[in-house]
Amino acid sequence: MIQASEYNFDGLVGPTHNYAGLSVGNVASLKNATGASNPKEAALQGLAKMKALQDLGLPQAVLAPMERPDISTLRQLGFTGNDAKVLFDAAKKAPELLVACSSASSMWTANACTVSPSADTNDQRLHITAANLANKFHRSIEFDTTSRILQTMFNNDEHFAHHHALPLGDHFGDEGAANHTRFCDNYGDKGLEFFVFGKYAFRSSMPEPKKFPARQTFEACEAIVRLHQLSDENTVIAQQNPEVIDQGVFHNDVIAVGNGNLLFCHEQAFLNQQETFDTLKKKYPGDNFQIVEVTNDQVPIEDAISSYLFNSQLVNRPEGGMMLIAPGECQENRHVSEYLYQLIAADNPIKDVKTFEVQQSMRNGGGPACLRQRIVLTEQERAASNPAVFMNNDLYLQLTQWVSKHYRDSMTAEDLADHQLLLESRTALDELTGILNLGSVYPFQIA
């Protein structure tokens, strides 16, 4: 049996974290559109979660943010002159473009890419496809830098295969691991990869949401399966329930989460729920696939969305059994907290729940699971990866000091036009590439 571990790569919140109401279909993003954010608190909350998981014995690493404001995209859109003039003109003539080009949304690393561990792929390399995030302009400008960062972290052709993001446009809308999970008995075993989509792009008259966009297509899932050299018997592709997308479930990870041999989901998660369960059970390579299905009576869909219960991380405890790493909002919601109390007392693999305060992220629709990308690495693959990105006490200390030195503690949309903010962000990111040994990955470093 091959030994492998699952690493949580959490997104480091960027210095321009702000609330701009950019994501139609994401209830929290629209609700908090005009509020002031606190980038320093957001980054420190994220780092505190990383450190706590590391201290629990769960392997942890970190993924760098984007350069924002994204001057190179503003130039592509026709703004000219020096950087200060680009900012000034964009703020005056197209403030909506400036906020879109300033989002710190790469902090939701679940959306950065889809990763298939080497145990699942035909060439036995770990495959990575950066997500095109085509449905939202402010996110569709992430994948180039994401790819460069991932390539410097996993820079070894013998072990890692990097694919270009899928073609841009609605037909191949791909939201990365927010719509992908993997089931297995042991992380080093060949697993069952589970892809979830919101609509078909090329087939008309199929069910799809009516009010909010379906961000992930069936065709995008199939393309990733081909690129990653996955076999049919180890892959399931299922459709999300369009009715819940219309209620604000913009990604599958807002209504379902999986780990090991367990799927934890709401009863309204999938369009053909029973058929999806049957296929998962049939194809699961181990012999004990388990499902914990939460009914609407236990947790109404509105509570699942507002508390982000299913955007918890579901992890193996070093001492056995699983644990939910849930957002603090789950404790405050009566239906959810009562349900969680029953859940850990019942007969299922989830033995414990820990809550974390990530409100800065939650206000933009990002819970604990959004903040991380799961990457299964064998010992050899771990040794072939960039060692500087793996969490330890020194790195935690260095990064908290770095955040405290460079980040502001309040930010509104008006601040984004401040040339000083651009300079501060670039100074911070330049130092960060040194700390994480990434080389030159940002447009301002390679221009």
Q: Binding residues for ligand SUG, per CB under 6 A?
A: 19-23, 26, 29, 103, 105, 108, 110-111, 136, 139, 178, 251, 253-254, 364-366, 370
Whether omega before 327 lies within 30 degrees of 0, making that bond cis, reads no
- Residue 344: Cβ within 10 Å count: 14
Based on CB atoms, which residue is closest to ligand SUG, 357 or 430?
357
Identity of the amino acid at 6? E
Annotation marks residue 171 as catalytic: no
Q: Which of 175, 193, 208, 381 is catalytic?
A: 175
Q: Answer for the pair 303, 336: CB distance below 8 angstroms, yes or no.
A: yes
Residue 175 a catalytic site member: yes
The token duo for 219 is 């065709």
- Please choose, from the candidates 356, 301, 281, 289, the residue with its C-alpha nearest in 3D space to the C-alpha of residue 323: 356
Closest distance to ligand SUG from the beta carbon of 105 (Å): 4
Residue 4 or 299: the one with the smaller Cβ distance to ligand SUG is 299
Give the nearest distance from C-beta 30 to ligand SUG in angstroms: 7
Nearer to ligand SUG, 106 or 239 (CB): 106
Q: Judged by CB, which is closer to ligand SUG: 4, or 74?
A: 74
Contact 101, 413 (CB under 8 A): no
Residue nearer to ligand SUG on the CB measure, 14 or 260: 14
Active site residue 221: no
Looking up tokens 């807002």 gives 254
With beta carbons less than 8 A apart as the criterion, state whether 141 and 103 touch. no
Q: Residue 205 Cβ, how far from ligand SUG at the closest point, in Å?
A: 28
The token duo for 125 is 């390399």
Say if residues 160 and 269 touch (Cβ distance below 8 Å): no
| Cβ nearer to ligand SUG, comparing 395 with 413 | 413
In order of 43, 242, 306, 350, the CA distances from 247 in angstroms are 29, 9, 11, 27
Produce one character per residue of 405-427: b if its CB has 16 or more CB atoms within 10 Å, e if not.
ebbbeebebebbbbeebbebbbe
E strand map for 267-409: 290-294, 313-316, 322-327, 350-356, 372-378
Q: Which helix (H) or strand (E) holds 219?
A: helix 218-227
- How many whole angstroms from its chain centre is CA 71? 24
Q: Which of 17, 127, 180, 251 is catalytic?
A: 251
Q: How far is the CB of 37 from ligand SUG (least distance, A)?
A: 8
* Closest separation in Å from C-beta 263 to ligand SUG: 17
Catalytic residue selected from 142, 180, 370, 406: 370
Nearest distance, CB of residue 22 and ligand SUG, angstroms: 4
C-alpha 387/C-alpha 61 separation (Å) is 9
List the catalytic residues.
175, 251, 370
